[in-house]
Copies of this chain bind each other. A is one copy, B any other.
Amino acid sequence: MKKIGVLVLAFWSFLCFAQEKEQKMKPQETEVWEPKVPVVTPGINNLPPSDAIVLFNGSDLKQWVNAKDGKEADWIINNDGSMTVKNKSGNIKTKQNFGSIQLHIEWKSPKRLEGSGQHRANSGVFLQGLYEIQVLDNNGNNTYVNGQAGSVYKQSVPLVHAAVETGEWNTYDIIYHQPEFDLGGNVTQQATVTVLFNGILVQDHFKIIGPTKFIGYPKYEKHGKGPLILQDHQDNSRVSYRNIWLREL
Using a CB–CB cutoff of 8 Å, the interface residues on chain A facing chain B are 4, 8, 11-12, 15-16, 19, 22-23, 25-27, 30-43, 46, 49, 51, 102, 104, 144-148, 154, 157-164, 173, 175, 182-187, 192, 194, 196-201, 204-205, 209-210, 213-220, 247, 249
Residues of B within 8 A of A192 (CB): 205
Residue of B nearest to A42 (CB): B198
7 contacts between A and B (CB under 8 A): A37-B159, A38-B160, A42-B164, A46-B199, A102-B201, A183-B217, A204-B249
Residues of B within 8 A of A201 (CB): 102, 175, 247, 249
Complex copy number for this chain: 4
Residues of B within 8 A of A159 (CB): 37-38, 249
Q: Given A33-B144, A173-B199, A200-B40, decide whether A220 and B27 contact each other with a Cβ distance below 8 A.
A: no
The reply to whether B173 and A196 form a contact with Cβ atoms under 8 Å apart is: yes
Q: What's the Cα separation between A86 and B12 when bound, in Å? A: 32
Instruction: Out of B16, B144, B158, B184, name the residue touching A210 (CB < 8 Å).
Output: B184
